[in-house]
Structure 1
Amino acid sequence: MQFDLTVLLPYLGVLRDGVILTAQACVLALVGSVVTGALVAIASTSASKPLRRIADVYVDIFRNVPFIVQMFFFYFGLPVLGLYIDAFTTGVVALSIAGGAFTSNVIRSGILAIDPGVIEAAQVFGLHKRTVFLKIVMPIALRTSIRPLGAVLVNLILTSSILSTITLNELTGSAKIVASDTFRPFEVYFVLLVVYAALTWSVSLAIGALHRRLNRDIVEVVS
């Protein structure tokens, strides 16, 4: 077999649209994961035992059930109850909920790692507990959790390939279409491999640079 990437030239637009759709789904899912994870982390660190229990159950369920099962439940199961959601929205919601279970542990660790003296100092100045949490605790927790959150984003990019199973033509779905049209699966999936590697590598580099920038003052103080 002769390796020939030129056969894919007429399909560059299809693959480009798949990359764009993957990027859109992952960005929205990251936002959803961070919001969901923050709420769950707040619940898991609260003084309320019921809230902590609910947070633990949520994390246990969505971390220990295969993502494809969760997604099929939303896409194929909910219509039985009269809830119809399009493939893109289903994918974003499923990724957000599943990602939130992992993000919650990241943010929770960031919250617990904060020096209690910082919180006590803020309270000495008469700041309300809610203000302390929203203005001091959460920003510090998110800043110190940049690298783990970056790992969550990389995982979202990789997991998004499963969205093709619900007829969403993201990157993997688009590649399947091209492979079936050209009968050149080797070239198609070689390009797919390279594109996914480039996406995740670029995200990792960007997250590393953002982490160094946000924590530059901490490094300077320590040094």
Structure 2
Amino acid sequence: MPFDLTVLTPHLDALLAGAALTAEVCGLGIAGAFALATMLGLAAVGESWAGRLARLYVDVFRNVPFVVQVFFLFYGLPEVGVYIDAFWTGVLALGLVGGAYGSDVVRSGILAIEPGVVEAAKVSGLSRLAIISRVVLPIALRTAIRPLGSVFVNLVLSSSILSMITLDEVTGTARGVASETYRPFEVYAFLLAAYAGLTYAVSLAINALHRRLNRHMMTSRTAGKGA
């Protein structure tokens, strides 16, 4: 049977809608994961109760399969009176697991900061909040942003599991179209392209953010070469 993408034409709107839904749930999930990873990474550096709690959270979410977490949120929580629809279950699940994996990256970036930098900030009279927001996080994220990008790409790939909780994202839609058209090769070729496009978009965004965070270093190198 020859390869023929025209068989997808009647289903193209549904497939594109599924891809758009995947992009939306992943975008919100990544935003939540970044915020949670930052908070957990900051907490995990210390030895207080907050630090121990943060490390426990990371251990739990890193050692439980993502599909189990999704099923617990979507099917388990209603048993205790907590109802979350499929879309927000996906966003929450991606944010929670992404925050766990991303927190180790942020924590490593913080630990890599020279102690003298923080001490100088304290001597200058900056408050603890100002030191964290103006000194610690900007420096840590310069080195952590690329590894965080790998975490975010994995979140996009993991989002395919969300089709198992009735979310009509691109994988679930593609599966339905394949069963209807009996042309799985063309349908899953589209699916491959969709995920490649989504992950490439995340990579481009991370590279742009990396350049922005490290622009002063790039400028210094360029000036040094010119000299």
TM-score w.r.t. the length of structure 2 is 0.92
1:169-200 CA distance string (max 9 Å, x none) = 11101111211221211110111112212322
Contact 2:138–2:213 (Cα < 8 Å) also in 1 = no
Q: 1:128 and 1:47 mapped to 2: Cα distance?
A: 20
1:126 matched residue in structure 2: 125
Q: 1:47 and 1:102 mapped to 2: Cα distance?
A: 19
1:97 matched residue in structure 2: 96
Q: 1:96 and 1:33 mapped to 2: Cα distance?
A: 4
2:183 matched residue in structure 1: 184
Q: 1:2 and 1:220 mapped to 2: Cα distance?
A: 53
Taking a change above 3 Å as real, the CA distance of residues 115 and 219 of structure 1, as seen in their structure-2 partners, is farther
Taking a change above 3 Å as real, the CA distance of residues 209 and 34 of structure 1, as seen in their structure-2 partners, is closer
1:52 matched residue in structure 2: 51
Shift of 1:51: 1.9
Number of equivalences: 222
Unaligned runs of 5+ in 1: none
Taking a change above 3 Å as real, the CA distance of residues 205 and 35 of structure 1, as seen in their structure-2 partners, is closer
2:42 matched residue in structure 1: 42
2:168 matched residue in structure 1: 169
1:144 matched residue in structure 2: 143
Q: 1:38 and 1:76 mapped to 2: Cα distance?
A: 29
Which residue identity lines up with residue 18 of structure 2 in the other structure? G
Shift of 1:61: 0.9
Q: 1:167 and 1:182 mapped to 2: Cα distance?
A: 20
199-208 or 8-17, which moves further after superposition? 199-208
Q: 2:150 and 2:122 mapped to 1: Cα distance?
A: 34
Q: Secondary structure at the match of 1:156?
A: helix
Q: 1:71 and 1:39 mapped to 2: Cα distance?
A: 22
2:192 matched residue in structure 1: 193
Q: 1:42 and 1:131 mapped to 2: Cα distance?
A: 14
Query: How much is the aligned-residue C-alpha RMSD, in angstroms?
Result: 1.5
Unaligned runs of 5+ in 2: none
Which residue identity lines up with residue 34 of structure 1 in the other structure? F
2:69 matched residue in structure 1: 70
Shift of 1:213: 3.5
2:28 matched residue in structure 1: 28
2:16 matched residue in structure 1: 16
34-43 or 65-74, which moves further after superposition? 34-43
Q: Secondary structure at the match of 1:36?
A: helix
TM-score w.r.t. the length of structure 1 is 0.94
Q: 1:37 and 1:211 mapped to 2: Cα distance?
A: 17
Q: 2:200 and 2:88 mapped to 1: Cα distance?
A: 26
Q: Which stretches of structure 1, 4 residues or more, deviate above 3 A after TM superposition?
A: 219-223
Shift of 1:47: 4.1
1:3-33 CA distance string (max 9 Å, x none) = 1110101111111111111111111111111
